[in-house]
Amino acid sequence: MLYFPRFMHATLLFLPTVTVLLAPNIASAFPQPSVAISSGNTTGANYAVSSAIAKIFNRKAADYGVRIATVSSQGSLANIDNVFEGKTAFGIAQSEILQHAVKGIGPWQGKPREGLRAVLGLHLETVTIVAAADRDIRQFSDLKGKRVNIEAPGSSDNEYGALLFELSGINPKDVTLSEHPAALASEYLQNDKIDAYLYTVGHPNLSVLEASSGTRKVLLVPLDKAFIARVTTEYPLLTPTVVPTNYYPRLACQGAVATIGVRAVLFTRADMAEEAVYRLVREVMTNFALFRRQHPVLPGLTPGEAAGVTAIPLHPGAERYFREAGLSP
């Protein structure tokens, strides 16, 4: 079975295996206990990708005596704290945010979340600016004087919003900022309560689809190439990318939208049992083609990207699998 560290619920540790070994016919009539992946809000790719990981692993749940479950959350920052505090076994967070947590900067100033370890590199999340077409927002600088939602303080969208305003030279006082949950942003945009919102997410995304399908026409705002080059030079975990608009046929403007992206990472704590992490990684990687078919955000993911997390150290269980598979030294 999977063995979990002391900070997890003790009742999940050994009982399932004993039961299966002694009375497999009886045990099969009862559901396995579960451990959770803290993912994101239900409109985002992280929730769907977490569910895909659970689906792949849970095909062997009877053998391992434990299931993986997906739980929604407020995003990367909440997931980091959930895992660090032992509330969930795994989490999904953006690599840049994970690195900040481990170093004790940003929201964790003076309170580093030491002991976090990477399990799998996942999809690329893109900084996406959704704007009302009737507000003449064609570039980031046009957000000056507008009503812009950047989600709640402590969220990754709030962090990236502050970063982009700083680097672009826009004083946040010159923007009317709101901090509604990302899941509500499309509704606020359609109801003319905001002019634009920033959402760091994998595509396709239900929030963007909803926003682009309403009666108020919307578009995605590109970032300037020179600005992208500056951001990705100063922050090497960020990378140039594009949002493919073919997912959203009712946008006011079509064509790839230049922006920046950041790798999502499945992570856990260093004291998670090596065999537990090894088996999770093995199930996903030996069923990689099936895994990538679970959501449109996943087909571009390569085995090298899954193994190539550099923001924080790999967990020994993940490192062991990737080494055996020839994906790392």
Q: What's the CATH class of domain 10-123+265-324?
A: alpha beta
Straight-line distance from the first to the last Cα atom of the chain, in angstroms, rounded to the nearest whole number: 28
> Would the CATH topology of 10-123+265-324 be identical to that of 126-262?
yes
176-230 tens-digit pLDDT: 999 998 889 999 999 999 999 999 989 998 889 999 999 999 999 999 999 999 9
115-161 tens-digit pLDDT: 999 999 999 999 999 999 999 999 999 999 999 999 877 678 888 88
62-100 tens-digit pLDDT: 999 999 999 998 888 899 999 999 999 999 999 999 999
Q: Give the start-to-end residue ranges of the domains of the chain.
A: 10-123+265-324, 126-262
Yes or no: is domain 126-262 CATH 3.30.360.10? no
8-49 tens-digit pLDDT: 433 333 233 222 322 333 334 336 789 999 998 887 889 999
Name the E strands within 65-111.
Answer: 67-71, 90-94
Name the E strands within 95-162.
Answer: 116-132, 147-149
Residue type, 284: V
Residue type, 9: H
Q: Which one, of 165, 68, 166, 71, lies nearest residue 119 by Cα?
A: 68
Confidence at 254, pLDDT banded by 50, 70, 90: very high
Q: Which one, of 64, 69, 112, lies nearest residue 88 by Cα?
A: 69
